[in-house]
Amino acid sequence: MAHIALVGAMQEELAAVLACMPDAHCETVAGRDFWLGHWHGHEVVAVLSRIGKVAAASTATVLLERFSVQRVLFTGVAGGLARSMKVGDVVVATDLLQHDMNASPLFPQYEVPLTGRAFFATDPRMTQALVESAHAVLGQVRHAHEASPFLSLQSIQNFGLQHVQVHQGLVLSGDQFVASAAESRRLQQALPQALAVEMEGAALAQVCHDYGVPLAVLRTISDRADDDAHTDFTKFIQEVASRYSAAIVAEFLQRFT
């Protein structure tokens, strides 16, 4: 039985995590490679969920049914919606919602049919530890005159990471890459409390809710979810987001018992 699952949606996001688990061995289930090992005293299973809600839900179900994980931690990138969100900031989700769920008039918009809810909360204790971990790690990035232990000075300067912040709040999920100013404005108007948008978190939250398993979600803001959302996306994931993930998860595992 693995104590905690570490899940990422893209290979670049997961690679830095796997580099910290040299003892990991692989089991392939449902076309996915699940890496079982140890990190900071925790029994861990790390996996690439792939992109989208169905892929995330399928991965979560295998983690819970086959590997009996006790907790799930998801890391990845997201597009910023709220004006306060800047590239390089980190969002720790407190609630997740599927912005493309609409079974009206049978059910209210956004409500997942037969659940009576649209919002799925993350685990408070894991979330608080993740917030503290993110603050500790990002505090090392806020000095542009020197490199951090995990980011180069050039990356800090190129992506303007001198004043990165940690945020907590609502994160939206949907099966579309939000990459236009018009769509971003539509989501902001419909759900003004939302901080960021991505493609997996709410599906994971629904599955974890069904199984009664605690979940925490960490997202690095890679773009503003507008017409410039494609700019240097891959480079940002490789040079910044994947390194954030490894550093923050390492800090989290040391803090969380």
212-239 as b/e: b if 16+ CB within 10 A:
ebbbbbbbbbbbbbbeebeebeeebbbb
At position 38, the amino acid (one-letter code) is H
User: Interior CA angle at 85 toward 58 and 128, to 5°?
Assistant: 60
* Pair of tokens at residue 24: 């990991």
User: Interior CA angle at 6 toward 151 and 193, to 5°?
Assistant: 80
Residue 101: partners with Cβ closer than 8 Å, 6 or more residues away: 109, 110, 111, 112, 118
Active-site pick, 13, 95, 123, 200 = 13
Active-site pick, 12, 95, 223, 239 = 223
CA distance 171 to 81: 9
Nearest to 66 by CA among 22, 28, 112: 28
Question: Is residue 95 flagged as an active site residue?
Answer: no
DSSP string covering 59-100, please? HHHHHHHTS--SEEEEEEEEEE-STT--TT-EEEEEEEEETT
Question: Is residue 183 flagged as an active site residue?
Answer: no
Nearest to 174 by CA among 245, 102, 90: 102
Just list the catalytic residues: 13, 223
